[in-house]
Amino acid sequence: MYTSFESIKSAIQNGTSSVDIVNYFLQKIEANKHLNAFLEVFEESAIAKATAVDEKIKSGKAGRLAGMLIGIKDNMAYKDHKVSASSKILEGFESIYTATAIQRLLDEDAIIIGRLNCDEFAMGSSNENSAFGNVLNPINEKMVPGGSSGGSATAVAAGLCTASLGSDTGGSIRQPASFTGTIGYKPTYGTVSRYGLLAYASSFDQIGPFTTNIEDAALLTDVMSGKDEFDSTVAQVENHNISVKSIEGKTLKIAYIKDCLTNEGLDAEIKSKLESVINQLKEKGHQVEAIEFPYLNEMVPTYYVLTTAEASSNLSRYTGVHFGKLAENVQGVEDTYKKSRSQGFGEEVKRRIMLGTFVLSHGYYDAYYTKGQKVRRVIQDKTNAILNDFDAILLPTTPTTAFEIDGVKDPIAMYLQDIFTVQANLAGNPAISLPMGQHSNGLPFGIQLIGKHFEESNLLSISNYMFKNLN
């Protein structure tokens, strides 16, 4: 119920009010609070917004998203509401402004229902790194929902909101989408303003939606996109005009990376499904070709060298003095910084800050950071060269289905969960995870498409065709 914007519009046309819809979701969130998806429900502001939206509907002045219920990842600023990046270091902090992406949703009369749990500062692939406990996978509560946007994925999969926002630095939208059977879309870097997104790695982070259908993903991305005076890295395009178009009658040209299908970590059933999709595309007259991409094993190390370096810089502001909670019983500046950061940050965040600080340190900068930037350019150039000849690249989203809570203890093994998703972030391309099957273990999994820079409509149109015709 109310799992798509179309269903909400239909209900409103038939006399249901936005306030009724909000109350429905509030009850459902309460009934499913054990999933730990929501860190806070914005009941008061959501009902106030819904009341205002109902008045605008009556007067015929409602926006494009009137009545749509959206949850936001807990690393996005929303004025007069708390934001913590699921970290103790920002305990009690309340934002004094609203992120551009969220403001644009509000301007079109979307209703923000609450903030969603995530890995601390978006660092993780399982949502086990939150200072406020694990999020459970609603498909099987013994399993992780994926990360870092695990709360966002679970909220949509469990029907606790119509759509949600996540952030994707190396797969943090697409991987949990795969684990929960939802659609997760990462736009081209620079499509959506990062103003108001608490930074992890600034040259990688991108805001995107979780939905149950492609049309809603396109609509939300279109509303959020466009130039922003507060973000110099966003594309200087007034309107991207993102929409889903029919591709019936067109012949697609799809590439798939051979090394992904032969990767020893890829689950046999996911591989079989990917091969089935390739064969179905061929049977429908589309051109599907295997291609070489010899940098698969270099991508995860490159990603972690560069993102931890950026994280070390970005998180240096959380000292207990400039930003962040001040530790008790501190004496002097050095003691203040040490205790505030040691007590405020979790283990994974501290691990990545230390790794990034090492990467940037004297004597190692050229060996690691500079070399990582060079490898990133090689990966980007190769990806662009492939997409000059093809409409999209097809590959798995994740090597496996969701794993058990506490099932992956080795940090390196956890980092390798990102092996198929980091390419799009290193190269800056748009990418999407589509739910494409159910494993014999009862869990869903997705397949992934990577598209050309700023050709969001084309990628989403291809995705819609595949989602509706190849399941």
Classify residue 74 by its DSSP letter: T
In 3-state terms, what secondary structure has residue 255?
A: strand
Residue 138: the pLDDT is: 98
For range 302-322, the mean pLDDT:
95
In 3-state terms, what secondary structure has residue 281?
A: helix
Residue 371: the pLDDT is: 97
State what percent of residues in the chain have pLDDT above 90. 96
CATH number, domain of 384, equals 3.90.1300.10
Residue 152: the pLDDT is: 98
Please give the positions annotated as active site.
73, 148, 172
pLDDT tens per residue, range 265-280 = 999 999 999 999 999 9
Residue 176 contacts residue 149 (beta carbons within 8 Å): yes
Classify residue 404 by its DSSP letter: B
Residue 97 CB partners (closer than 8 Å, separation 6+): 77, 79, 196
State both tokens at 105: 């949703």
Backbone angles phi, psi at 197, to 5 degrees: -95, 120
Look at residues 231, 198, 162, 160 and name the one whose alpha carbon lies nearest to residue 83.
198
Which residue, chain included where needed, has tokens 């509401």? 81
Residue 310: the pLDDT is: 98
Backbone angles phi, psi at 438, to 5 degrees: -120, 130
Residue 85 has pLDDT above 90, yes or no: yes
For range 407-435, the mean pLDDT:
95
Which residue segment(s) compose the domain that 169 sits in?
1-471
pLDDT tens per residue, range 102-138 = 999 999 999 999 999 999 999 999 999 999 999 999 9
Q: What is the CA radius of gyration of the chain?
A: 21
Q: What is the count of structural domains for the chain?
A: 1
Classify residue 190 by its DSSP letter: T
pLDDT tens per residue, range 6-62 = 999 999 999 999 999 999 999 999 999 999 999 999 999 999 999 999 999 999 999
In 3-state terms, what secondary structure has residue 431?
A: strand
Q: What is the C-alpha to C-alpha distance for residues 393 and 401, in angstroms, rounded to an integer?
A: 21
Q: What is the C-alpha to C-alpha distance for residues 103 and 100, in angstroms, rounded to an integer?
A: 5
Cα dihedral sign, 299-300-302-308 = positive
Which residue, chain included where needed, has tokens 């080795």? 410
Average pLDDT, the chain: 97
If pLDDT is split at 50, 70 and 90, which confidence band does 322 have?
confident
If pLDDT is split at 50, 70 and 90, which confidence band does 471 have?
confident
Residue 33 CB partners (closer than 8 Å, separation 6+): none
Residue 278: the pLDDT is: 98
Neighbours of 81 (CB within 10 A): 18
Residue 405 has pLDDT above 80, yes or no: yes
Q: Higher pLDDT residue, 276 or 239?
A: 276
Enclosing H/E stretch for 396: strand 392-396
Q: What is the C-alpha to C-alpha distance for residues 318 and 325, in angstroms, rounded to an integer?
A: 8
For range 380-388, the mean pLDDT:
98
